[in-house]
Amino acid sequence: MDHAWFAESRFGMFVHWGLYALPARHEWVKNRERLTDEDYQRYFDHFEPDLYDPVRWARLAKEAGMRYVVLTTKHHEGFCLWDSAYTDYKVTRTPWGKDLIAPFVEAVRAEGLKVGFYHSLIDWHHPEFPVDSRHPQRDDEAYKAATAGRDVSKYADYLHAQVRELLTDYGQIDYLFFDFSYKNRPGEWGGKGADDWRSPELLEMVRELQPGIIVNDRLDIPGDFVTPEQYQPAGPMTVDGREVPWEACQTLNGSWGYDRDNLDYKSPELLVRMLVDSVAKGGNLLLNVGPDGRGQIDPRATQTLDDIGAWMRLNNRSIYGCGPSGFTAPPDCRYTQRGNRLYLHVFTWPFRHLHLPGLAGRVKYAQFLHDASEIRTRVIDPTQTAGNTTMGGLAPDVLTMDLPVVRPDVAVPVIELFLND
């Protein structure tokens, strides 16, 4: 399997979209508010995304510098965005009445981006999904008693059949994000994992249907990459002592689905830093948007992606195909590297100078990446002493860069260092 595109891309768009866009109170609203299927039915009955424009979504992703897009085919609520043969709980039975997946796949491919599907292993609507500590009716004793005979193996048959549909009916699919396993988690009961999903069998089918696909790690068995969620790892991620591909999945405002009243948005500068931080540690960033009930990506999210795109247009060669460097970056900076080009991302702007350990005699040219303007460098004689107009106390292997006092007007300034061959 050739998964080189994943590390080359480094940046993708996650799209969480389902019935939960209508209540607009977080994608876990059914769980949080203990809503019954009857309570939740009103969202099904009024789902009519007349402003759905996957072409605009795909172009927004591309213009933001993203190289792949991942859409929730089904979230934990059980609602399917395609015309599945195995359920009536699907978009083609809503007022909208049309498949949402096919136009999405077509639009993403047309922009030259990789196509990804998210698929929930959990299903709070399915009649054979056993109630557990995550289920909306977990506190309803009468409901638990009435559903005590549910058979998770019958649900697993349904799960496998729907994954087969998704990986058969839409051509080449490049990426699959399963979500999630929770067997034997402390403080929970009835959690489910690999045995319940029949994960080895499921993964074997996935690879048979889509030999080139990349699959995440949430089947409770090893996958192709690991998925830290809503945090940035302290360093490269490892499994059994070896570094592995990874991808941080992050939100714009703490919610995955459309959350109308949540205004806790991260700044574009912070998000660029998170992207840089991921690449500097050998990972990717999958950044989420949550379209509203009419299918629109809200203006604040759109503006944020536009701002990230403005930075990526000037600085993307410090991201695409780059990874960690063996050099030690100065405080509050990050290195990424590709071949003999080393990129220094400066998170906090210093006064006039940056000192780079280990790079004396190693750099033949330095420039700002955003405008290709030269940055002068020098190696300061370590025998000089501090206390006058020269700098002292530096190790002989330190390269000093002379910087402008005024910080460049970009979200994160990047310095491109051309190393000696």
The answer to whether residue 386 scores a pLDDT higher than 70 is no
DSSP labels, 324-357: --SSPPPTTEEEEEETTEEEEEESS--SSEEEET
**Coil, helix or strand at residue 202:** helix
Mark whether 42 and 179 lie in a shared domain: yes
> How many distinct helices (H) and strands (E) make up the chain?
11, 16
Mark whether 394 and 303 lie in a shared domain: no
Domain of residue 126: give its range. 4-318
Give the pLDDT of residue 389.
55
Give the pLDDT of residue 385.
58
Domain limit, last residue, from 295, 318, 341: 318
The one-character DSSP state at 270 is H
Q: Is residue 149 part of a domain?
A: yes
Q: Is residue 263 part of a domain?
A: yes
The answer to whether residue 420 scores a pLDDT higher than 70 is yes
Backbone φ and ψ of 307, nearest 5°: -65, -40
Beta strands in 110-190 (DSSP E): 114-120, 175-179
- Residue 393's pLDDT band, with cuts at 50, 70 and 90, is confident
Mark whether 86 and 216 lie in a shared domain: yes
Mark whether 363 and 410 lie in a shared domain: yes
Location of structure tokens 């039915």: 41
Location of structure tokens 């489910």: 192
Mark whether 215 and 257 lie in a shared domain: yes
Domain limit, last residue, from 262, 289, 318: 318
Among 325, 331, 372, CA closest to 354: 331
- Residue 371's pLDDT band, with cuts at 50, 70 and 90, is very high
Give the CATH number, domain containing residue 347: 2.60.40.1180
Q: Which amino acid is at 219?
A: L
Q: Is residue 283 part of a domain?
A: yes
Among 224, 249, 116, CA closest to 176: 116
Phi-psi region of 234 (alpha: psi -120 to 50; beta: other; left: phi over 0): alpha
- Residue 391's pLDDT band, with cuts at 50, 70 and 90, is confident
The answer to whether residue 384 scores a pLDDT higher than 80 is no
Among 171, 75, 164, 154, CA closest to 114: 171
The pLDDT > 70 percentage for the chain reads 97
Give the CATH number, domain containing residue 110: 3.20.20.80
Q: Mean pLDDT across the chain, nearest whole number? A: 96
Mark whether 174 and 96 lie in a shared domain: yes
Chain centroid to Cα 30, Å, comes to 24
Q: Is residue 282 part of a domain?
A: yes
Mark whether 284 and 400 lie in a shared domain: no
Q: Is residue 326 part of a domain?
A: no
Give the pLDDT of residue 381.
81
Among 299, 320, 312, CA closest to 56: 299
Domain limit, last residue, from 286, 318, 350: 318
Q: 272 with 306: CB under 8 angstroms?
A: no
Mark whether 221 and 282 lie in a shared domain: yes
The answer to whether residue 9 scores a pLDDT higher than 80 is yes
Q: Is residue 327 part of a domain?
A: no
Location of structure tokens 């699919």: 173
The answer to whether residue 398 scores a pLDDT higher than 90 is yes
Cβ neighbours of residue 91 under 8 Å, at least 6 residues apart?
Answer: 47, 79, 80, 81, 82, 83, 97, 98, 99, 100
Mark whether 372 and 267 lie in a shared domain: no
Q: Is residue 90 part of a domain?
A: yes
Mark whether 291 and 368 lie in a shared domain: no
Mark whether 188 and 287 lie in a shared domain: yes
Give the pLDDT of residue 388.
54
Give the pLDDT of residue 199.
98
End-to-end CA separation in angstroms for the chain: 32
What pLDDT digit, counting tens, does each position of 72-119 carry? 999 999 999 999 999 999 999 999 999 999 999 999 999 999 999 999
What is the enclosing helix (H) or strand (E) of 74? strand 68-74
What pLDDT digit, counting tens, does each position of 209-252 carry? 999 999 999 999 999 999 999 999 999 999 999 999 999 999 99
- Domain count for the chain: 2
Give the pLDDT of residue 394.
87
Give the pLDDT of residue 382.
72
Cβ neighbours of residue 9 under 8 Å, at least 6 residues apart?
Answer: 66, 67, 68, 114, 284, 320
Mark whether 130 and 25 lie in a shared domain: yes
pTM, two decimal places: 0.97
The answer to whether residue 320 scores a pLDDT higher than 90 is yes
